[in-house]
Structure 1
Amino acid sequence: MDKHKDFLDQPWDERDPDPWLALYLDQSTPLPDAVKAAWLRDCSSSSRQYLLPFLRPLARLSIIAIQILKVVLPKRWAHSRLLHKVLAFSMNTFVSPEANWLIMRHFHLGSHILAFVAANAPTPVKTAPIEPACIDDIQDELFLKHDLNLFNFVIRLNQALRAEGKELGPVAEPDFTMVTEPTLRLEDMPCGPLNKLDLQSAIEVYTPVYQLLLTDHDFWRASNSLQLDETLAIYCAKILATPEHLVMLNNKHPLVPLSTLRAGHRLVLHGLSTEMLHCLLMRMASGEQPVPAREIARMQRVVETVSGPVP
C-alpha cells in the first residue's frame, strides 16, 4: 500500500490548487511523510467535512448536560472499564484506519518523549511506558492511564529535582535511544465498511462519553493534562539547549486551565504537537539540524490550518 500515492500522483491545476497537496508537499512542518499523509487524508475526508460541523455543537451541549447531571450523581460514580470497552469497540467498528493509527501511535510517542526526558534528567526518574500493540489493548484503561502517567511523571521528576537541588539543563550528548518509530502499521488497522469516522469527529463524540463514564475529577484532570504540552516541550528544550525550536504549541500556559467544552479540539492539537515534537527528536537523533527558528510561526499557522478553526 503506497501511503503517499494519492497526494504525489494527483494533478496540479494552478487555477484551482489543492490546499491538501500544498500542505503535504510543504516541508516546514516537522512530520514524517507517512504521518502527514494519514493526517491530511483524515482531515480531507467527507466525514470531517460534512459530519464534524453537526457533531461538534451536539458534543458540547452534551458536555454541559452531563456536567449538570453530575451534580446529582454520586461523586465517585464511574465506569472506567465500561468506558474503555466502548472506546475499543467503536474504534474497531467505526473509526477510520488513519484515525485509529494516529490514536494508537500517540500512546507510543508519549511514552518515548517521557522516557527521553527521564533518560537525560540529572536525577533518576521512573517511567511507565504505554505501548499498545492493537486496539483491543485499550480495554486495559489505557486512556486513563495515559493521563495519570503524564501528571505522575511531572510530579516524580520535579520532586526528585527539588530534593537534589538540581534543574534540567543542556546535555552534551543526549540519549536518543528510546526515540524510535513505533512498529504499528496503518495496514493493520480495521478497515471494515463502517470504518469511516475521522479523527476529530471521533474525539468530539468520545469527549462527552469520557466525561459521563469517569468521575468529574478524572475528566477535569484529563482535560487539563492537555495544558502540559508546553511543559514537556520546555523540558526537551532545556535538555537540547534549543528552546526556540520546540515551543510551537497552541495549548498555551499550563497555569491557566481552560474550559472542558473545547477539550475535543485541544486534544487534536495535543496529538499533532506530540507528533511534531517526536519528529524533531527523531531528526536530531539522526544528526539532522532542528527546524530553523523563523519557521516556528509558520508551523503554528499550519497547525491551525490542518486542524481547522475552532467555532
Structure 2
Amino acid sequence: MKRLPDFLAHEHDTRDPNPWLALYLDQSTPLPDHVKQAWLADSSSLARQFLLPFIRPLARTLIVLIQVIKVFVPRRWAASRFLHWLLAEGLKRLVSPEANWLVMRHFHLGGQILEFIAKNSPVPVDTAPLRPIVLDDLKDELFLKHDLNLFNFVIRLNQALRFTEQQLGPVAAPDFSMIVEPPIQLEDFPHGALNKVDLQTAIECFTPIYQLFLTDNDFWRAANSLQLDETIGVYAATILNAPQHLILLNNKHPLVPQSTLRAGYRLVLHGLSTEMLHALLMQLKMAQADKQEA
C-alpha cells in the first residue's frame, strides 16, 4: 500500500497547522494532485531540511573553485559520457523516488511543450523530443541534449518566422494532441534504504559535478537555458492569448544572464515552471474536448 506523506497522514490541527498541507490544498498554482503530492513530499523531507542548508553553500563554493581550475584546463576538455553515467548512478542509488520521478517527467513535459508551440506555429519547426523511461536512459547524454534541444528550437522557430516574415499569434483552436501524461510511474523508481536525498539537495550536489565534466561553454549554456523559461512562456501565452499565465515565472529576464552560482536553485524553478505550464495545457486540452463533445 502506498504510504501517504506526513502532511496528509495526520489530522489538521488548528493550533499547529501544517504548512505543507496548506500548500497541497491551495489551488492557486496549476499542478495536478499527484504531482503536487510528490513535490511536497520531497520538499518536506528530512534531507531537504537538514542537508540542503549545508550542501548549498558548499556546492556554490565548488562552482567558484572549479571555474578557477578551468582556467588551466584545455578549453574543449570534457567527459560528458562519464558525467551522465555518474548522474544516472547517483540518482539510482541515493535520490528519492519522488525526485527521480520528477526528473524523468521533466524530459517528457519539456518535449511536449516544445511540440505544442511547433504545432501551433504558423511555420513548420522540427523538434527532437526526449522520452526516457528508466534512469539508465539518461546515460545517453540526455541532460546535455535537453539543453541543446531548447536552444536549437528557439533558433529554428525564429529563423523560420523571420524568413517568412510571420509571427506567433493566438490560435482559436490550439492543437493539444501531444500533451499527455508521461508513461512513467512513481512506484517504478528505486525505493532503497539510501534513496533519501531530495530533489533540491541532489541538484545542488550535481551542479558542480556538471560544471566539472563539461566545457565552460556547455555549462554556461545549460545555466542560461533556464532564463528561456520566460521565452517559452511567452510563446505559449501568445498562442493561448492568455498573458496572465506568465505570472509565476521566476527565471527571467532572458536578456540578462545571471551568475551560475544560483543555477541549482533556478533549475528547481525551471522544473516547477515546466510542470505548471504542462498542467495548464492539460486543463485546456480537457476543456476543449468537453466543448467539442457538448
Could you state the TM-score of these two structures normalised by the residue count of structure 1?
0.91
- Provide the C-alpha distance between the structure 2 equivalents of 1:179 and 1:234, rounded to a whole number of angstroms: 18
**Secondary structure of 1:287's match?**
helix
Displacement of 1:246 after TM fit?
Answer: 3.2
Contact 1:76 1:215 in 2 (8 A): yes
The yes-or-no answer on 1:262 pairing with 2:262 is yes
- Provide the C-alpha distance between the structure 2 equivalents of 1:187 and 1:29, rounded to a whole number of angstroms: 25
Displacement of 1:7 after TM fit?
Answer: 4.1
The aligned residue for residue 64 of structure 2 is: 64
The aligned residue for residue 272 of structure 2 is: 272
- Provide the C-alpha distance between the structure 1 equivalents of 2:24 and 2:134, rounded to a whole number of angstroms: 28
Displacement of 1:247 after TM fit?
Answer: 4.1
**Secondary structure of 1:273's match?**
helix
Instruction: Output aligned runs, 1:61-210, within 5 Å.
Output: 61-210=61-210
**How many pairs align?**
288
Displacement of 1:27 after TM fit?
Answer: 1.2
CA distances 1:256-284 after superposition (whole Å, capped 9, x unpaired): 00000000000000000000000000001
Identity of aligned residues (%): 67
The aligned residue for residue 298 of structure 1 is: none
- Provide the C-alpha distance between the structure 1 equivalents of 2:138 and 2:160, rounded to a whole number of angstroms: 31
Displacement of 1:248 after TM fit?
Answer: 2.1
Contact 1:233 1:247 in 2 (8 A): no
CA distances 1:141-192 after superposition (whole Å, capped 9, x unpaired): 0000000000000000000000000000011110000000101100000111
The aligned residue for residue 52 of structure 1 is: 52
- Provide the C-alpha distance between the structure 2 equivalents of 1:120 and 1:56, rounded to a whole number of angstroms: 40
Contact 2:200 2:268 in 1 (8 A): yes
Q: Which moved more, 1:8-17 or 1:278-287?
A: 8-17
**Secondary structure of 1:128's match?**
coil
Contact 1:3 1:37 in 2 (8 A): no
Unaligned runs of 5+ in 2: 289-294
- Provide the C-alpha distance between the structure 1 equivalents of 2:154 and 2:141, rounded to a whole number of angstroms: 20
Contact 1:112 1:179 in 2 (8 A): yes
Displacement of 1:9 after TM fit?
Answer: 3.9
- Provide the C-alpha distance between the structure 2 equivalents of 1:3 and 1:248, rounded to a whole number of angstroms: 31
Could you state the TM-score of these two structures normalised by the residue count of structure 2?
0.96
The yes-or-no answer on 1:38 pairing with 2:38 is yes
CA distances 1:25-58 after superposition (whole Å, capped 9, x unpaired): 1111110101100000001000000000000000
Contact 2:7 2:18 in 1 (8 A): no
Unaligned runs of 5+ in 1: 289-311
The aligned residue for residue 27 of structure 1 is: 27
